[in-house]
Amino acid sequence: MASKLSCSELVVIVENGGVQVKRRSPVLGADSAPTAKQYLLAHERGAYTTCRTIAHTNILLLSTHITRLSQSICVIRSDLIGPESPPENRALFTPEALRAPVLHTIQLGLRAWFHALGKAPASTSTKTEDDIRIYILLSVEEQAGTLRPVIFTFMEPLTPLGPSLATTGCIVEVPGAPPRHHASAKDSGWVRDRLPLEQNKTPDAEEVLLQTEEGAITEGLSSNFFVVMRNGHLRTANEGVLSGTVRQIVLHACEHKKIPVDFRPPVLSERADWAEAFITSTSRLVMPVRLIRVLASSQLAEPYEIVFPSNGPVVPQLSELISQIQRVWSLEENNMITEGQHKPKDRLGGGQHKIGGVSESSTRMTLTFDFSAAQIPFVGIWGSVVPTLTLCNIPPEVHPACRSRSC
């Protein structure tokens, strides 16, 4: 690459073991990097997931994302790897089988990312604008009756929230669109199916919410939806939705804070009982909602709006707690640049993880980078990573992996 790129214009794509580093230009051209949406739409339908880095080299709940890929592809391609398919086919797409190739593609991409920037990852960075959004697409290739998983990785800068959205909240719209089919599977086909809803969304709306015929709000196009009831309970749909990783963290935080959760979708006819609302996703984390526009549709003749205060007591506290917890939970996959060292043993469920080869009391790793081999092409292993252990003094009630003992 002739010149170093800035983080804001960088895109890295990993396909079939090859790495492409592209510049995102405001002027579209043959060499301009595609958007993530364009990239997903250009490929065969498959399972996908969106994750993010925390402090450059940690990935938030990566094992949960790998499990989601496994479960989703088995639904999407049930003809080849469904319950009735040969066991040897299904064995290729278990979380255990997918883990190594997924880690490998991420490692290749991260090496290329930091090589293009001309700097080492800063494992202690707290700047959101330095972090990366990672899309992983999994499809099934069939040749002469033999199956193999095909993994594509797309990396772009994680766009930080503007101060107004993070503090005063966002606008969401309810156009009367029904919930999606197979919501529990993260299907790249949904990226195409939701295009009309995205295109009809007004420019100032952050998200579009889906509803049932009874007016129950299930989820957003790319987010989970919550309301805080006036009785202090949290309410969110539990069926017919894709349970996002940040949603899992919110539910854990509610358990920690002893906030009751009602696992039923919020119903528009009960909006007088709503005190606050928010949406969650990988890039947004917890984003407060200040206005819901319920649009006219076949179900509703007259549109109306639901306005929330900008200084509700619950959502800001949850947002702060989630920011703390996601940094701890991201440490499950600490050494993303190095292959074959400190492979985690996971206890899946609610973010509970134990790092193999490291004592349970040591839940944080810090990384130092030696660039003495920087002349090696970035598609290979360049530089070395020396992991050092430090103690993480996180209260046991906050970090689920420490519940049984003190850190």
Lowest mean pLDDT among 26-30, 215-219, 245-249, 296-300: 26-30
Whole-number pLDDT of residue 149: 95
Average pLDDT, integer, range 274-296: 93
Q: Please enumerate in sequence order all residues whose Cβ is within 8 A of that of 306, keeping only pairs 6 or more positions apart, or say none.
A: 271, 274, 277, 291, 292, 294
CA–CA separation, 193 and 188 (whole Å)? 9
CA–CA separation, 15 and 238 (whole Å)? 35
CA–CA separation, 280 and 237 (whole Å)? 13
| Surface-to-core class of residue 388, CB atoms within 10 Å of its CB (0-12 exposed, 13-18 middle, 19+ buried) | exposed
Within 10 angstroms of residue 9's Cβ, the number of other Cβ atoms is: 15
pTM of the model: 0.78
Instruction: Inform me whether the pLDDT recorded for 393 exceeds 70.
Output: no
Whole-number pLDDT of residue 161: 65
Average pLDDT, integer, range 394-399: 32
Between residues 60 and 49, which one has the greater pLDDT?
A: 49
Whole-number pLDDT of residue 43: 93
Mean pLDDT of the chain: 77
| Surface-to-core class of residue 250, CB atoms within 10 Å of its CB (0-12 exposed, 13-18 middle, 19+ buried) | buried
Within 10 angstroms of residue 348's Cβ, the number of other Cβ atoms is: 13
379 touches 19 (CB < 8 A): yes
Between residues 58 and 89, which one has the greater pLDDT?
A: 89
- Is the Cα dihedral 397, 401, 405, 407 positive or negative? negative
105 touches 153 (CB < 8 A): yes
Token pair in block for residue 368: 């130092």
Whole-number pLDDT of residue 283: 85
Residues of the chain with CATH 3.20.10.10: 163-312
CATH of 163-312, one of 3.90.470.10, 3.20.10.10, 3.40.50.720, 3.30.390.30: 3.20.10.10
Average pLDDT, integer, range 290-296: 93
49 touches 71 (CB < 8 A): no
